[in-house]
């Protein structure tokens, strides 16, 4: 079976030809304009898909299964995206529309964080666990939960939203309207703001020099400057690992997972991040021993790979 | 089959003869001394059990299945309590010891909050749900999670501890060593302290008058004074429902349950508590609709009833 995986983000759409369990044979990524209509998006995705198939010499006679990892709320059974807030799409029939673009295609939808969790569980660092989390640390914070050997879609099918657990109820306002959600304290957005503030407060820091040289403030910069011994970055790094550490402590108390993997840009930092986090949860988690905190294997390609895995999972459910 | 359920608390032990699905035929409850050895406790439980069986005319020829709901960490397979901190018991073979006290008995252990959740799911307000929480609001806060039609014992078997999710990481110190755990903000202990403080601050309040008359400060008093229109109690009630509301919002974001039931003393308050909480989660929960927050059916007898149910569940697992 030929399989394509798409990962639809707020600013990019990526696609790849996938050979399960873990081979991404060809990838392309396209930046989306600030505003895009649903029709334009589907046309673009259709073109990407046809090009990938053509490149690999797949004839349009062959059936192809396509998984699409997308943000927001969706109805997997009907292939409709209910709400994708950062694309401003509501109730759009993505599966049906994409099937019309690519000959002999069957399209399955999956939440983007669920896709990344599925990829890590099927072929990555969560492979040997039955109950585990993947947390995606990006602009926001998402997650997927593998529970007793299945992907958990929530009790009512809305999914899991670890980014919107409340960690500091008197903390900063979240886009969801509440205060101190995990997302406000553990996302790349928090790191960016902290780095910008630190560059003003510590004008002689390496962090400030980097930003003065035109490099964007953010998680990558904080991690690099911390590794280089910058004191301003160290302050941010310590605060961040405490905040993320507390989020992990909450996840552990509530679900007692065998392992937690981290995905998204921040997760690609060096081993020092994992040493700090594992030390923190060993000290503060409720149970006698804490589960390991692991760097995800697939990083940013977890979405397209997991989307391709979703086609198999959905087949099995039918 | 004759079934007994025990509920072992920090200060009391209760026992009942149970007819499933929901009949508690005879109950007795004994206050425990401040310090009790394991041998003394087992002797006392044995006597309670033999008396209950004798009263109901059960001959010692009949086999009897006994469930014991206990606090803390346990190894259900071997019937050993690993740690019950408020009784200061560590690694005690409760099942084997109790089996030696009661002729032809087989004893099964279950966590007390899990037992209460099991009772509500098998025969109470969670009966029609497949994925739901029971939160017990007492001296501490515990919980049990029914997940896709089974009791969830955690990924590593340590169980679930919603009371130790962090809700306000700059909040009050918890007995577990962290700050602002749900337990510090949603327990009866929080209500007691708030009522004592309010009685000092508002000496002319009904709350203060009640306490001056020698009635103990606590959740029941706050709820009663609030219902009677006392402004000092209203301040506490509003703050409490916001704190508990945020805890519910976190549980909903992480697991998307179909329903959440409340148990423990506080849960027996009037409908006004449920109106306030349901209003709060409808407003602040992440998803389009929030699941219902329900008063548990069995209140304090959920432990012994659920313990009896655990004998059946464990049989099925073997």
CB contact (8 A) between residue B129 and residue A160: no
Is residue B25 pLDDT above 80, yes or no? yes
Contact between residue A313 and residue A151 where contact means Cβ atoms under 8 Å apart: yes
B96 and B134 inside one domain? no
Regarding whether A285 and A140 lie in a shared domain, the answer is yes
In the predicted structure, residue A139 carries a pLDDT above the cut 80: yes
Q: How confident is the model at residue B37 (pLDDT cuts 50, 70, 90)?
A: very high
The verdict on B292 and B182 lying in the same domain is yes
Contact in structure between B132 and B146 (CB atoms under 8 Å): yes
Residue A317's pLDDT is 56
Query: Domain range holding B251?
Result: 127-296
Using one digit for the tens of pLDDT, what is the confidence trace for A218-270? 999 999 999 999 999 999 999 999 999 999 999 999 999 999 999 999 999 99
User: Is A132 inside any structural domain?
Assistant: yes
Shortest Cα–Cα distance, B156 to chain A (Å): 6
Listed residue (B264, B270, B269, B183) closest to B220, CA to CA = B269
Q: Which residue has the tokens 């510590």?
A: A202
**B147 neighbourhood in chain A, CB within 8 Å:** 147, 152, 155
**B156, B166, B291 ranked by CB distance to A156: nearest:** B291
Question: Is A53 among the domain residues?
Answer: yes
Answer yes or no: is B121 within a domain. Answer: no
Mutate to test the interface with A, among B253, B285, B317 (most CBs of A within 10 A): B253
- B289 and B306 housed in the same domain: no
Q: How many domains does chain A have?
A: 2
Residues A131 and A237 placed together within one structural domain of the fold? yes
Does the structure show a pLDDT above 70 at A315?
no
CA B183 to chain A, closest CA, distance in angstroms equals 12
Chains A–B, number of C-beta pairs less than 8 Å apart: 137
Query: A161 and A15, same structural domain?
Result: no
A280 and A257 within one domain: yes
Interface test with B, best of A153, A156, A172, A178 (most B CBs within 10 A): A156
Tokens of A43: 């046309």
Q: H or E stretch including A66?
A: strand A64-70
Residue B158 counted as domain residue: yes
- Answer whether residue A277 shows pLDDT above 50: yes
Is 60 exceeded by the pLDDT of residue B244? yes
What's residue A290's pLDDT? 97
- A226 burial class (0-12, 13-18, 19+ CB within 10 angstroms)? buried
Residue B317 has pLDDT above 60, yes or no: no
One domain, residues B162 and B287: yes
Partner-chain contact B258 A161, CB within 8 Å: no
Q: What is the CATH number of the domain that holds A19?
A: 3.30.420.40
Could you tell me if A163 and A286 lie in one domain? Answer: yes
Cα–Cα distance between A191 and A62 in angstroms, integer?
46
Whether B132 and A147 lie within 8 Å, measured CB to CB: no
- Give buried/exposed letters for B290-314 (b at 16+ CB in 10 A, else e): bbbbbbbbbebbbbbbbbbbbbbbb
Look at residue A117 and tell me if it is in a domain. Answer: no
Please report whether residue A119 resides in a domain: no
Long-range contacts of A268-276 (CB under 8 A, 24+ apart): A268/A295, A268/A299, A269/A219, A269/A220, A269/A223, A270/A223, A270/A227, A272/A226, A272/A227, A273/A223, A273/A241, A276/A237, A276/A241, A276/A245
Query: Could you read off the pLDDT of B191-213 as tens digits, one per residue?
Result: 999 999 999 999 999 999 999 99
| pLDDT score at A199 | 97
pLDDT above 90: residue B142:
yes
Would you call A93 exposed, middle or buried from its count of C-beta atoms within 10 A (0-12, 13-18, 19+)? middle
- Is pLDDT of B117 > 80? yes
Q: Do A155 and B250 touch (CB under 8 A)?
A: no
Chain A: residue whose CA lies nearest to B280? A178
Q: Which residue, among A146, A152, A155, would best test binding to B if mutated, counting the most B CBs under 10 Å from its CB?
A: A155
My answer on whether B308 and B231 are in the same domain is no
Residue A249 lies in a domain: yes
Chain A residues touching B158 at Cβ < 8 A? 256, 287-288
Name the band, by pLDDT with cuts 50, 70 and 90, for residue B318.
very low
Shared domain check, B165 and B64: no
Q: What is the mean pLDDT of residues A118-122?
A: 97
Nearest Cα neighbor of A257 from A115, A175, A162, A137 is A162
- Torsion over CA: A54, A55, A59, A64 (sign): negative
Name residues whose C-beta falls within 8 Å of residue A112's C-beta, 6 or more positions apart in sequence. A7, A8, A9, A69, A70, A71, A136, A142, A303
Is the same domain home to A195 and A96? no
The pLDDT value given to residue B87: 85
Task: Confirm if A307 and A68 have CB atoms less than 8 A apart.
Answer: yes
Residues of chain A contacting B157 with CB distance shorter than 8 Å: 256
Kindly state whether residue B184 falls inside one of the protein's structural domains. yes
Q: B155 and A291 in contact by Cβ < 8 A? A: yes
The token pair that represents B2 in the structure block = 């004759």
Q: Would the CB atoms of B160 and A254 count as touching at under 8 Å?
A: yes
CA B81, distance to chain mean position in Å, is 18
Q: How far is A246 from chain B (nearest CA, A)?
A: 7
CA distance A122 to chain B (A): 17
Which residue out of B165, B175, B252, B257 would a mutagenesis test of the A interface target, given it has the greatest number of A Cβ atoms within 10 Å? Answer: B165
Taking only the tens place, the pLDDT of each residue in A74-93 is 999 999 999 888 788 999 99
The answer, yes or no, to whether residue B167 has pLDDT greater than 90, is yes
What confidence score (pLDDT) does residue B314 get?
67
| Strands across the sheet containing A132-137 | A150-151, A141-147, A132-137, A259-263, A293-295
pLDDT surpasses 50 at B169: yes
Q: What is the pLDDT of residue A56?
A: 81
- Nearest chain A alpha carbon to B180: A168
């Amino acid at each position: 079976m030929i399989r394509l995986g798409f990962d639809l983000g707020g600013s990019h759409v990526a696609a790849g030809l996938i050979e399960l369990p873990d081979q991404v044979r060809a990838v392309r990524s396209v930046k989306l304009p600030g505003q895009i209509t649903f029709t334009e998006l589907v046309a673009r995705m259709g073109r990407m898909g046809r090009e990938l198939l053509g490149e690999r010499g797949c004839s349009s006679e062959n059936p192809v299964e396509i998984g699409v990892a997308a943000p927001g709320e969706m109805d997997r059974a009907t292939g409709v995206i209910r709400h994708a807030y950062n694309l401003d799409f509501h109730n759009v029939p993505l599966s049906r529309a994409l099937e019309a673009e690519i000959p002999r295609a069957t399209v399955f939808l999956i939440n983007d964080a669920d896709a990344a969790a599925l990829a890590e569980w099927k072929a990555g660092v969560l492979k040997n666990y039955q109950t585990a989390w993947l947390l995606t640390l990006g602009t926001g914070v998402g997650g997927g939960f593998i529970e007793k050997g299945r992907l958990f879609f929530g009790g009512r099918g809305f999914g899991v939203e670890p980014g919107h657990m409340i960690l500091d109820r008197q903390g900063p306002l979240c886009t969801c309207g509440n205060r101190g959600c995990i997302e406000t304290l553990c996302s790349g957005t928090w790191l960016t703001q902290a780095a910008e503030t630190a560059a003003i407060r510590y004008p002689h820091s390496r962090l400030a020099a980097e930003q003065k040289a035109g490099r964007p403030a953010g998680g990558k910069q904080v991690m690099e400057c911390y590794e280089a011994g910058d004191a301003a970055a160290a302050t941010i790094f310590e605060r961040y690992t405490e905040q993320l550490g507390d989020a992990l402590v909450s996840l552990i108390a509530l679900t007692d997972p065998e392992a937690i993997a981290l995905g998204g840009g921040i997760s690609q930092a060096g081993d020092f991040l994992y040493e700090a986090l594992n030390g923190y949860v060993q000290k503060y988690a409720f149970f006698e021993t804490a589960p390991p905190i692991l760097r995800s294997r697939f990083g940013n390609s977890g979405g397209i790979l997991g989307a391709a895995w979703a086609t198999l999972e959905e087949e099995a459910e039918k």
